[in-house]
Amino acid sequence: MRREASIMHLDLDAAFASVEQRDKPSLRGRPVVVGGIAGRGVVATASYEARAFGVRSAMPMSEARRRLPSGAAYLSPRFEAYRRTSQVVMELLREVSPLVEQVSIDEAFVDLAAGGHDCAVPAVTELARGIKAGIAAATGGVTGSVGVGTSKLVAKIASDLDKPDGLTVVGPGCELAVLHPLPVTKLWGVGPATAERLRQAGIRTIGELAARDLVDLLAWFGQAHGNGLFRLARADDDRALVPERDTKSVSAEETFGTDVADRARLERELDLLADRVAKRLRAAGLSGRTVTVKARYFDFTTITRSATRDQPTDEPRAVVELARRLLADIEVTGGLRLLGVGVSALSEFAQDTLFPIGTAPEVVDPAAPEPVAAEPVDTAWRTGQDVRHDEHGPGWVWGAGLGRVTVRFEGPLTPPGPVRTFKADDPALHRAPPPDWH
């Protein structure tokens, strides 16, 4: 457990259902269930409108249908759409800190101290508010709940205390006051069987668990599980964040209060960012060959330009020179809301010499996101599936069967759209990628 609240946990709110409601305006405000919609399918995610009727994850879809009123929507998952949204969120988190542990497609821990942030409670609260607002803006309205605490345990539990769109910061010394009134099921490792054994012993809250002797827990659950419960009930958690991959780049960014179109000012900001990156490289004993400049416009459209030199460097002058050349290739007349500089292709040594006089680095195209394997697609139309009609444009499958497919023509940037029915083999109707939300 740390001495300051420097670990943040983000959990997107009903992520799959939220993405569906973003992309399908006719479903906003209505109960939405995503999962296996036929046979013995189960619920993957339910919107908060559906949760009000007691629908929850892992519930049989048949039970969800019994609980929900008419007008509820039951959709097959669109994993490509969820991954695209997740990638945007994780990129924003990595702008906050170089140490991000992505737990799942909609959940991550962030080490705020590793990002050099002030971790006093007021400062970290304001930082978290900004992160939440940035995520909602960049994802077209998908919200996340955030918890910040002195350990992963506390941060994880805190993020669940004020859902949806919540924020809870648990300052140092307040951990037990927050944890102890909560049910034991909030702790990692307390599933149905463990919860039932504790209930039989009269233990329902974390505080009641903390009051029991270690010898009791060891007798009930064995050495490893008993010790784990004993420690967690006392907020004793010193697990480190584990990023999913080694650091591949060092970067610095600046988000402007108002959009900046003055190229001279942008060059000055770029010089400061490049100098900051070079200092971080030296502090980490690293150097790099590839310099990248990132620019984000008012509508959150983001572009990058990269250049690679023959030898790695940690020299500020080398990074500045390359970054300026890249910025010259970026259109700024409409204004930038964010400017960033990064160095990648890292190694643990630096080349002392700069670019030979009269030579220019190779400028390469912006790196595209890593390709995502497409989900298997069967021959039938699936409810919720993205489609495009040659005449009517983009939409989604509202329902299908008996040789017919019904499509609602709308998207994240349109009002609720019209519904039309076609033959299932209509040659003008095609499967389509997920729509853009900005």
The helix or strand, by DSSP H or E, that contains position 94, with its residue range, turns out to be helix 79-96
Asked if 348 is an active-site residue, the reply is: no
pLDDT digit string, tens, across residues 5-51:
999 999 999 999 999 999 999 999 999 999 988 777 889 899 999 99
Task: Supply the pLDDT for residue 279.
Answer: 81
Q: Alpha-carbon distance 162 to 8, whole Å?
A: 15
Residue with tokens 């912006």: 366
Q: Alpha-carbon distance 53 to 65, whole Å?
A: 10
Q: Is the pLDDT of residue 367 over 50?
A: no
Bridge partners of 192, per DSSP, are none
Extended strands (E) in 53-206:
73-75, 100-104, 107-111, 144-149, 167-169
Q: Is the pLDDT of residue 377 over 50?
A: no
Share of the chain above pLDDT 90, in %: 66
pLDDT digit string, tens, across residues 305-314:
999 888 888 8
Catalytic hit among 107, 175, 321, 410: 107
Q: Please provide residue 88's backbone torsions phi and psi, each rounded to the nearest 5 degrees.
A: -65, -45
pLDDT digit string, tens, across residues 223-274:
888 999 999 999 999 988 888 655 577 888 888 878 899 999 999 999 999 9
With cut-offs at 50, 70 and 90, classify the pLDDT of residue 103: confident
Q: How far is Cα of residue 95 from the mean position of the Cα atoms in its chain?
A: 12
Q: Is the pLDDT of residue 351 over 80?
A: no
